[in-house]
Structure 1
Amino acid sequence: MYKHYGAIILIVNLKLISRIVASAEQSSHALDIQLASPTIYTKFDPYVSQANKASDDLDVPKTNLMGTNSSGTTEFRSTSSTLMQASGTAQFFDTNTGKWLYWSLSFMVIPVIFTICIFFHIINILVFLTMGLRDGASVIFLGLSISDMLYCSFSLINRILRSLASILGQHPYLRLPHLAHIIIQYYRVFFDISILITTFAGVQKCACVAIPLTFRKFFTFRKSVWTIILIYVCTLLYYLPHMTNTYLGIRLDPQFNRTRLMLRSINFELAGVLFEVSKAVNRIFIPFVAEIILIVCVAIMTYKLRQSATIRHSMTSTAIQVDKSVREEKEENIDIAPGSKLNIRELKVIQSVNMI
């Protein structure tokens, strides 16, 4: 069992890295939408690419990822520096070093991380299917592996499209940043699903430690299956208005004066409302509530494990009658007095449970 700890820790670290990258992807979501638009507004408009507005209404011309500087040479412009230039702010990413650092992280390092995560998630799925879904824990971890794999897959596709857009520029018939915006909606679905499943898994493990006698009555195999299905269905229904309100359609690109396959919106006002609701629910409410729940679960599990270890110590001290030499050996590993420190083995158990 212990020989698999290295692989488990590696998978956990890759999951953590993918979640950190996910937070960065969520933060840059609005910026990606701006880059997908025909121009950049001086005032931030989250759904500018979805508005079927004429170019005369726009104030600031678009700055492409690949642009020409004052000397006439072509240089790379990162998404962050593009927004900073529009606001007149000089930052690190305005320098050539910052631009190429952003390029390396966004289009080289992060895609490699996502690819590795997809590979390990596929292994997890195959392992769970091979072992068989015999209890609620296996169902939860299978659902979590599927959602994480789909999130990493859509995120990798989004990164590839953004890389191609920065290389090919604005000439292709299909606006690649607009297609990337469609992909963004899908990976956000599975990102939220992973958050909800992780929270449910934390509550389940906390109940297993806190109320072990009644645990099986509340968290049965059937209830776990239906809970995972309900999380998937409810999240997809929540994002359904987002995904159906925007689509790729043919329209006039005023920048090149020709029709192209671009992002369109059925209802621009509804798109703005959906964005504000999504920002409040998906970026603030769900992540913070999930973190609070998991922190409380970890605290409860730690307290209950220490409490059960203390009770076991007191019962062991009254039940075991051994000679002096054996008793001295036992006392080195087990403290007789209640409230004393836990031995190394029990501390490892607590740490392992908290890590999971």
Structure 2
Amino acid sequence: MDTINVSFVNFSTPSVDVSAEESVRFLDTAQAISLRRSLYYAVNTFILTVSVITNMLNIVTFIKAGLLEGMSCLFLSLSLSDLLHCALILVERSLGIAEVFYHQHPYFKLMVMAFFLTRNAAIWHVISTLLTVFAAIQKCACVTFPLTFRFFFTRKRSVFVIFLIYLCVIISYIPVYVVDTVGPYFSTRFNRTRLGYRIRNFKVYKGSADYYLFAHYVWLPFVALSINILCVIIMTWKLRIAARTRKDMTAGGKSQARDPSRETAASQTSNSNKIGSESVEIDRNTHKKVIDGSDDVKLSNNEKNAALSERELRVLRSVNLVCGIFIGGTAPYCILNSCALFLDSFDHRGRDFTLYYILVSFQEIWYFGSTSLNIFVYYIYNSKFKKALRGIFSPCLSIVKLSESD
């Protein structure tokens, strides 16, 4: 077996040898270490804790509200993958904090365990990305081709696609996980056997790791970001068309209901009670048709397709906001990866490694913070979720009110 001792970046010294002229950095090394550790271990840990709590609330609330719709199942699965991703990263941060106090443990190194947790968290990040893309494509297809896809994505089909995404991603990562393990190795520093990172087959691991690193850090985020941006543009455009159509229908109904010619006709036939009652009945029926948007309001085919129901509009807005939150959290990630690919000095081993680590810390705060914002979208645009969430907190609120009254 090939045994490799995992080496992590030492923030106290530069990762590369540079000359005195090239050692000028954006921040002094000591300042960068302090800022990096504050962001990485303090702020990031707090954001991850909030994200774990909110996603747990999402899961409990969706289960209590009922999974009668495909979009509810999709949001539940998205909350589950976000929860597992953030929970594993939170444990990794906790192990990093513990490593500061127990870094000279005689047998094992906590950062080795943290490395495995971080790598396993990548699975759930990929699943969350694919689920967001599926939600964007689903609603975009429903509003773009409503006659074809409005009733195509049923609950059973959505659950099948969700299960397929989970299964395919987990199976695809098996080649990486079967070639390495945790095993004993002899540490020359401590002059004893310690528990470290061991690779069974280095050639297989190197080939699979290169492929998955490219797919995870380059191909997937850029493709997912592009698809979500395109779908958000289309959904926003359709939302504007739907809002304008509903406004025109409402304005047409008011004008037709208040037509002066009808009032004149009704006054001319007021001498006959029978004729008068019939005219009033016709006016009421006409007014009802106008409000319901039936044949009295002449709409084109595009306008009829755009005339979404109130429930469909709320679902569309919620998916649009979830995709927008995903774009806001993923765009800095793609920008940093692009800079690291094209700039040799801008990575964890380059000349500007201090600036790189600080920007990565801010990017992580932004991304993990975005995973905790979905609960507000569900609460605003999902009436069942809102009612179920209030039901969860109603006992606590009643206890608070009783204590205040006493």
**TM-score bucket (shorter structure):** 0.5 to 0.7
Name the CA distance, whole Å, in 2 between partners of 1:234 and 1:353: 24
Compute the displacement of 1:218 (Å): 2.2
Q: What amino acid is the match of 2:11?
A: S
Secondary structure of the structure 2 residue equivalent to 1:81: coil
Matches within 5 A, 1:131-280: 131-280=65-214
State the Cα deviation string for residues 165-186 of structure 1 (Å, max 9, x = none): 2332243411212111111121
Compute the displacement of 1:93 (Å): 5.6
What is residue 11 of structure 2 aligned with on the other side? 81
CA contact (8 A) 1:208 1:215 kept: yes
Q: What amino acid is the match of 2:146?
A: P
Matches within 5 A, 1:102-113: 102-113=36-47
Q: What amino acid is the match of 1:253?
A: S
Name the CA distance, whole Å, in 1 between partners of 2:86 and 2:177: 19
CA contact (8 A) 2:103 2:109 kept: no
Name the CA distance, whole Å, in 1 between partners of 2:318 and 2:205: 45
Compute the displacement of 1:272 (Å): 1.4
State the TM-score, normalized to the length of structure 1.
0.67
Q: Please, which runs of 5 or more residues in structure 1 have no aligned partner? A: 1-49, 55-61, 65-78, 326-337, 339-345
Q: What amino acid is the match of 2:320?
A: N
Matched, 1:288 2:222: yes
Secondary structure of the structure 1 residue equivalent to 2:197: strand
Name the CA distance, whole Å, in 2 between partners of 1:310 and 1:167: 61
Matches within 5 A, 1:29-40: none
What is residue 286 of structure 2 aligned with on the other side? none
Matched, 1:297 2:297: no
Name the CA distance, whole Å, in 1 between partners of 2:203 and 2:17: 25
Name the CA distance, whole Å, in 2 between partners of 1:181 and 1:353: 33
Compute the displacement of 1:312 (Å): 4.8
What is residue 353 of structure 2 aligned with on the other side? none
**CA 117–318 in structure 1, closer or farther in 2 if over 3 Å, else same:** closer
Compute the displacement of 1:187 (Å): 0.4
Name the CA distance, whole Å, in 2 between partners of 1:116 and 1:217: 36
What is residue 52 of structure 1 aligned with on the other side? 3
State the Cα deviation string for residues 111-132 of structure 1 (Å, max 9, x = none): 1111111001110000000011
Aligned residue among 250, 256, 266 for 1:321: 256
State the Cα deviation string for residues 312-338 of structure 1 (Å, max 9, x = none): 55556666424489xxxxxxxxxxxx9
CA contact (8 A) 2:95 2:111 kept: yes
Larger radius of gyration: 2
Name the CA distance, whole Å, in 2 between partners of 1:103 and 1:176: 17
Q: What amino acid is the match of 1:111?
A: T
State the Cα deviation string for residues 236-260 of structure 1 (Å, max 9, x = none): 1111121221111112122222111
Q: What amino acid is the match of 2:208?
A: L
CA contact (8 A) 2:103 2:110 kept: no
**CA 273–353 in structure 1, closer or farther in 2 if over 3 Å, else same:** closer
State the Cα deviation string for residues 224-243 of structure 1 (Å, max 9, x = none): 11111111111111111212
Q: What amino acid is the match of 2:126?
A: D
CA contact (8 A) 1:135 1:221 kept: yes
Matched, 1:307 2:258: no
CA contact (8 A) 1:81 1:93 kept: no
State the Cα deviation string for residues 155-200 of structure 1 (Å, max 9, x = none): 0111111222233224341121211111112100101110000111
Name the CA distance, whole Å, in 2 between partners of 1:192 and 1:83: 33
Secondary structure of the structure 2 residue equivalent to 1:177: helix
Q: CA RMSD in A?
A: 2.9
Compute the displacement of 1:354 (Å): 3.2
Name the CA distance, whole Å, in 1 between partners of 2:108 and 2:214: 32
Name the CA distance, whole Å, in 2 between partners of 1:145 and 1:201: 13
Q: Please, which runs of 5 or more residues in structure 2 have no aligned partner? A: 261-299, 301-309, 323-406
Say how many residue pairs are matched.
265
Compute the displacement of 1:150 (Å): 0.3
State the TM-score, normalized to the length of structure 2.
0.59
